[in-house]
């Protein structure tokens, strides 16, 4: 079995470009917007989603011949919910501040459509190793978009860039006081909900221009 | 806790100020996918109202009498230290999936007309984040039973209003000249942003 043949590469690289889960398959937008106020939240969320997505894809793909078709939704939900519970407990134990900031959105990974969507569309039809790559690819595609959105929102909305650490976050960069003194102002709207919608809308537009994809309506 | 006004304030907050879609981004997947058609939007909006109003109180009972710290004390005083809240996610999602199935069967049996208009949306909303989100917010904000019912109903109404507003705008949009690559989801996101700004105007209201 070759892991790094061209088909496997395609499974990983497609979600990063022409088949991105957020901007092209339109899955998993709910949690994508809520956690993009700060970069460190987006990074932690990406790691959590990649973990849940890879594990659920592998487990479901390994079990795919044993799950009766009629009850597959319930089986999928319970496996995903158990994995998310693990993530939630780990975050509460080791990154308590982060877990408080993300509040209900860790639990909402369960209903993140990316996970159910990839399980239904890919994992139940392919073997575990391919399902793992698919999970990794889609997780990275999701992470790429939310990290871009959160970079814009944090840098222009709050004037900082924060990386995750054990506590409240490590501030990598913040706009110097001299700029504010010279009349620079943060765009407060970006920190609020409408800003998230605008930035994501523009990111989706840019990405579709880059890859030349149109949607009929 | 005050009387009627207190509940009215929770309701108004859930519908307008802290709208579950426009302020908390919950249920966006179905919100964007279904708002292409107005009839379908009315259908899923009503289904969300029904399911949220039913599941939030049921999850409240389960949380208060089984899962919370010390909740099992009604069984025996020895259980005062038992804390089952790590089971919350898995129990809530199973309750939601089961309730959605039950509502669907109930509708099929008693109201064919309602079933044919809402039936196809019910399985979809089992995995709608706004339903699970409603239950999780109810726990986080420590609402009591009546507050939970009012909050569940209010959030449902908020979703209903938001999806109908977006569907109507998108309907008009068919006749406008949008850059081809912005059509569809991109435009819907920008519109949702504008709607969300409009709803933010309510945030100054203090009830």
Is residue A204, in this structure, part of any structural domain at all?
A: yes
Is residue A65, in this structure, part of any structural domain at all?
A: yes
Taking alpha carbons only, the member of A19, A32, A13 closest to residue A201 is: A32
Is there a contact between B32 and A81 if contact means CB atoms under 8 Å apart?
A: no
Q: Would you say the C-alpha torsion B144, B145, B150, B152 has a positive or negative sign?
A: positive
Cα of A178 to nearest chain B Cα, Å: 31
Note the pLDDT tens digit of each residue in A90-106: 998 988 888 888 878 88
Taking alpha carbons only, the member of B119, B202, B205 closest to residue B162 is: B202
pLDDT at position B130 is 86
* A32, A91, A89, A127 alpha-carbon torsion, rounded to 10°: 60
Residues 6+ apart with CB under 8 A from A97: A167, A168, A169
Is there a contact between A217 and B190 if contact means CB atoms under 8 Å apart?
A: no
Residue A91 touches chain B, beta carbons under 8 Å: no
Facing residues of A174 across strands?
A160
Residue B100 φ then ψ, to 5°: -60, -45
Note the pLDDT tens digit of each residue in A75-92: 888 899 999 999 999 998
Number of domains in chain A: 1
pLDDT at position A122 is 86
Say which of A73, A103, A197 has its CB closest to residue B196: A197
Q: Would you say the C-alpha torsion A122, A128, A134, A138 has a positive or negative sign?
A: positive
Is residue A217, in this structure, part of any structural domain at all?
A: no
pLDDT at position A4 is 62
Residue B19 φ then ψ, to 5°: -55, 130
Q: Which domain holds residue A156?
A: 6-210
Whether residue A147 is predicted with pLDDT greater than 80 in this model: the reply is yes
Whether residue A217 is predicted with pLDDT greater than 50 in this model: the reply is no
- Averaged pLDDT for residues B154-175: 90
Q: Which helix (H) or strand (E) holds B114?
A: helix B112-118
Is residue A1, in this structure, part of any structural domain at all?
A: no
The more confidently predicted of residues B206 and A141 is A141
* pTM for the structure as a whole: 0.85
Is residue A174, in this structure, part of any structural domain at all?
A: yes
Is residue A56, in this structure, part of any structural domain at all?
A: yes
- Averaged pLDDT for residues A146-173: 84
pLDDT at position A125 is 86
Is there a contact between B185 and A204 if contact means CB atoms under 8 Å apart?
A: yes
pLDDT at position A84 is 92
- Averaged pLDDT for residues B92-115: 83
pLDDT at position B206 is 64
Is residue A53, in this structure, part of any structural domain at all?
A: yes
Is there a contact between B132 and A197 if contact means CB atoms under 8 Å apart?
A: no
> Which residue's entry shows tokens 């907050």?
B13
pLDDT at position A29 is 80
CA-CA distances (angstroms) from residue A55 to A20, A38, A95, A134? Answer: 20, 26, 21, 11
pLDDT at position A53 is 92
Note the pLDDT tens digit of each residue in A121-138: 888 888 888 899 999 999
ipTM above 0.95, yes or no: no
- Tell me how far apart the alpha carbons of residues B160 and B15 are, in angstroms, rounded to a whole number: 9
- One-character DSSP codes across B175-195: TS---GGGTTHHHHHHHHHHH
Is residue A205, in this structure, part of any structural domain at all?
A: yes
Q: Closest residue of A to B90, CA-based?
A: A81
């Amino acid at each position: 079995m070759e892991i790094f043949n061209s088909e496997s590469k395609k499974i990983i690289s497609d979600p990063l470009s022409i088949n991105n889960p957020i901007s092209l398959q339109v899955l998993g937008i709910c949690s994508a917007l809520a956690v993009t106020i700060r970069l460190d939240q987006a990074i932690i969320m990406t790691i959590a989603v990649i973990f849940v997505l890879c594990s659920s894809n592998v487990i479901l793909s390994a079990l795919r011949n044993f799950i009766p078709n009629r009850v597959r939704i319930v089986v999928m939900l319970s496996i995903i919910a158990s994995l998310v519970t693990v993530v939630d407990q780990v975050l509460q134990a080791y990154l308590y501040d982060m877990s408080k900031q993300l509040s209900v959105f860790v639990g909402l990974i369960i209903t993140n459509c990316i996970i159910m969507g990839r399980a239904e569309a890919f994992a139940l039809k392919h073997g575990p190793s391919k399902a793992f790559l698919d999970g990794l690819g889609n997780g990275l595609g999701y992470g790429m978009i939310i990290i871009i959105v959160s970079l814009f929102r944090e840098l222009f909305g709050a004037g900082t860039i924060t990386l995750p650490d054990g506590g409240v976050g490590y501030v990598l960069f913040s706009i110097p006081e001299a700029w504010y003194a010279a009349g620079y102002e943060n765009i407060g709207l970006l920190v609020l909900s409408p800003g998230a919608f605008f930035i994501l809308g523009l990111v989706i537009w840019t990405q579709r221009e880059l890859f030349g994809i149109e949607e009929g309506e | 806790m005050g009387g009627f006004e207190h509940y009215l304030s929770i309701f108004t907050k859930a519908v307008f100020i802290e709208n579950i879609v426009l302020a908390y981004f919950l249920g966006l997947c179905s919100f964007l996918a279904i708002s292409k058609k107005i009839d379908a939007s009315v259908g899923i909006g009503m289904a969300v109202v029904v399911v949220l109003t039913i599941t939030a109180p049921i999850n409240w009972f389960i949380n208060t009498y089984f899962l919370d710290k010390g909740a099992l004390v009604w069984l025996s005083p020895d259980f005062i230290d038992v804390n089952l809240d790590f089971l919350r996610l898995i129990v809530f999602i199973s309750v939601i999936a089961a309730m959605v199935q039950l509502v669907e069967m109930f509708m099929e049996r008693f109201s064919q007309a309602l079933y044919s208009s809402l039936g196809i949306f019910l399985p979809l909303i089992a995995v709608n984040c706004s339903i699970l989100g409603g239950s999780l917010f109810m726990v986080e904000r420590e609402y009591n039973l009546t507050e939970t019912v009012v909050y569940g109903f209010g959030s449902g109404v908020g979703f209903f209003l938001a999806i109908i507003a977006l569907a109507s705008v998108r309907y008009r949009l068919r006749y406008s000249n949008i850059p081809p690559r912005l059509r569809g989801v991109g435009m819907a996101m920008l519109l949702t942003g504008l709607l969300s700004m409009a709803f933010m105007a309510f945030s100054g209201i203090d009830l």
